[in-house]
């Protein structure tokens, strides 16, 4: 099987459209209950965007208890899902066109994300991504929190023999290389130049996937 495996946040879904709003709601709640006394750490979150959620809260709230981090995470994800369902987010430009092209060319499409299951389901449902996506996988489904292992599970389950991982962070690039797949870096909102430099190809728009796939896998463009 030939397949393209996408990251979700910062690759297919413009997380930044709901991120600050949802994060600020979370820390406003913490301020109201006396558990936080400074500004929302939005810039710190942007720096670490794409890491497993456990690491997110350890980084944002290093001096707070595990229990409080867990409570903050629940509030945050509730707000994210609420904002998705309200239509506050968006897919990246040309996402639908790229997905349609790949499916028409016979590629199976998967999502492998560090996002949690219910959050990913909200995005898939709202934007009807299951029109193109065979299955969505969350880091929550494996104990190691290693995206390379998550992608390995997809490769093994579906007997993938060729393809690519498309994502905006080093975890995506490393996951591709660990599994013998092409690493396509997305130079989007949360991307870092030094991380993208580790990939095989860098794109600035999902529309460019047509040309990349054509050159890399020798198929005919429409």
Provide the pLDDT for residue 216. 86
Per-residue pLDDT at 203: 98
pTM confidence score: 0.90
| pLDDT score recorded for residue 46 | 81
User: Residues of the chain whose pLDDT is less than 50?
Assistant: 219-222
pLDDT of residue 220: 37
- Taking CA 69 as the corner, what is the angle to CA 88 and CA 49, rounded to the nearest 5 degrees? 50
pLDDT at 91: 98
Q: Whose structure tokens read 């991120």?
A: 19
pLDDT at 219: 43
Q: Say what the pLDDT of residue 86 is.
A: 95
Dist CA 10 CA 91 (whole Å): 9
Predicted pLDDT of residue 181: 97
pLDDT score at 47 = 82
Q: How far apart are CA 114 and CA 120, in angstroms?
A: 9
Pair of tokens at residue 141: 């489904």
Q: What is the pLDDT of residue 217?
A: 81
pLDDT of residue 218: 63
pLDDT score, position 12: 98
């Amino acid at each position: 099987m030939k397949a393209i495996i996408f990251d979700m946040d910062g690759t297919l879904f413009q997380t930044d459209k709901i991120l600050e709003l949802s994060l600020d709601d979370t820390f406003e709640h913490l301020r109201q209950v006396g558990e936080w006394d400074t500004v929302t750490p939005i810039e710190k979150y942007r720096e670490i965007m794409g890491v497993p959620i456990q690491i997110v809260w350890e980084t944002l709230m290093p001096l707070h208890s595990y229990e409080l981090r867990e409570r903050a995470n629940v509030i945050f994800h509730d707000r994210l899902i609420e904002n998705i369902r309200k239509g506050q987010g968006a897919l990246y430009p040309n996402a639908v066109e790229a997905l349609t092209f790949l499916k028409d060319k016979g590629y199976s499409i998967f999502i492998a994300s560090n996002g949690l299951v219910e959050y990913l389901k909200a995005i898939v449902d709202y934007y009807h991504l299951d029109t193109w996506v065979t299955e969505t996988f969350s880091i929550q489904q494996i104990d190691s929190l290693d995206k390379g292992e998550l992608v390995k599970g997809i490769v093994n389950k579906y007997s993938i023999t060729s393809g690519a991982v498309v994502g905006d962070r080093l975890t995506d690039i490393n996951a591709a290389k660990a599994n013998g797949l092409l690493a396509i870096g997305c130079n989007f909102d949360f991307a870092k130049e030094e991380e993208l430099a580790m990939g095989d190809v860098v794109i600035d728009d999902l529309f460019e996937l047509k040309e990349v796939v054509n050159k890399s896998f020798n198929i005919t463009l429409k």
